[in-house]
Amino acid sequence: MTQFDIAVVGAGPVGLAAAIEGRMRGLSVLLIEQRTGVIDKACGEGLMPGALPLLERLGVAVEGKPLRGVTYRQGARTVTHRFAGGGGLGVRRTTLHAALSARADELGVQRRTAKVSGVHSGVDDVTISADADDVTARYLLACDGLHSTVARLTGLARRAPQRARRYGVRQHYAVAPWSDTIEVYYADGAEFYVTPVTDDVVGIAMLAGQRVDYQTALEAVPDLAERLRDAEPASSRRGAGPFRQRTRARTFGRILLVGDASGYVDAITGEGLRLGMAQARVAVQSVGAGRPKDYERAWRRETRDFRLLTTALVALATSPLRGTIVPLAARFPSLFGRIVERLAR
């Protein structure tokens, strides 16, 4: 039985980033994923400024639409913060996935198409049951998303709160972008995130409770609904969630949880990919040094701002004070800008 230095479960962008990180350190890597081809996902598709140097470090270049800042809109109230220094990038998830996948192949990442049904962390290695075969690796990085199979199998997954569960729905429209910022439209029970991804396509992502109807909520935002009135859909709708996921810890012996599998608050700040790639980097550093327990401390450091600020924003967005978010941001633009910059970098 061939043993790898690292087995990565999950071939989304974070799993691919972890696999690339491993190969860049000269480690043998096996990537296990039950899906084939380019993987799409319901998400906002905006890469925040801090994500771009991480992609460059991986040797990955992608084409997209420059994002110069963030705009919040609610009725007649508008507040915009333009990123200090370099901006972000609006990129179709499929474009990003294809570029990361090609880089992983270029570096010699090995792949297995299989569904993981069991894991066992031993003294010197990890055994992964993948369909009919077992795989062994010195370490396992679980990058298998919000509803991580590995987190559940190891007992690291915790039951998330049932109240105020939030979900996402995403659809693209064939219309020229009208802004070079990520626009966030606040309605009574939903937020709509508008991200330009090409010269003639924008992505619209809605964050809301489970029973909120996408089209009904969109019609409640007249300015946005009017812009999309005659635009043809450029993709089918996709959903994701619930977002709130918790874990007891991020390590279990030689198994490390990375990205959304390690726990997630909400998509409200758009930091998921930057955080996931940063976690992949420190996870591989930890196992490369033979100190997997170091990852827990590194994970807390990398995610601290996200956990604190996103938790506070979601609490506000799901409270009776929801309607004060945009007015407060407009009244205190420098504070709004500091929060955006803290999350963007």
Domains of the chain: 3-65+90-161+245-320 (3.50.50.60)
At 191, the amino acid letter reads E
Q: Which residues lie across from 110 on neighbouring strands?
A: 30
The token duo for 58 is 């991986």
**Model pLDDT, residue 2:** 62
- Split at pLDDT 50, 70, 90, the class of 275 is very high
The token duo for 259 is 């990205």
Provide long-range contacts, Cβ within 8 A and 24+ apart, for 119-125: 119/150, 119/153, 119/154, 119/255, 121/154, 121/252, 121/253, 121/254, 121/255, 122/253, 122/254, 125/3, 125/254
Mean pLDDT value across the chain: 93
Least confidently predicted of 46-60, 86-100, 238-252, 263-277:
263-277
Residue 164 has pLDDT above 80, yes or no: no
**Model pLDDT, residue 298:** 96
Query: For residues 156 and 247, what is the distance between their CA atoms, to the nearest angstrom?
Result: 5
Query: For residues 249 and 246, what is the distance between their CA atoms, to the nearest angstrom?
Result: 9
Is the N-terminal amide bond of 242 cis, ω within 30° of 0?
yes
Alpha helices in 129-264 (DSSP H): 149-153, 214-219, 222-227
pLDDT tens digits for 184-222?
999 888 999 999 999 999 999 999 988 899 999 999 999
- Split at pLDDT 50, 70, 90, the class of 1 is low
Global pTM value: 0.95
pLDDT tens digits for 220-271?
999 999 999 999 999 999 999 898 899 999 999 999 999 999 999 988 888 8
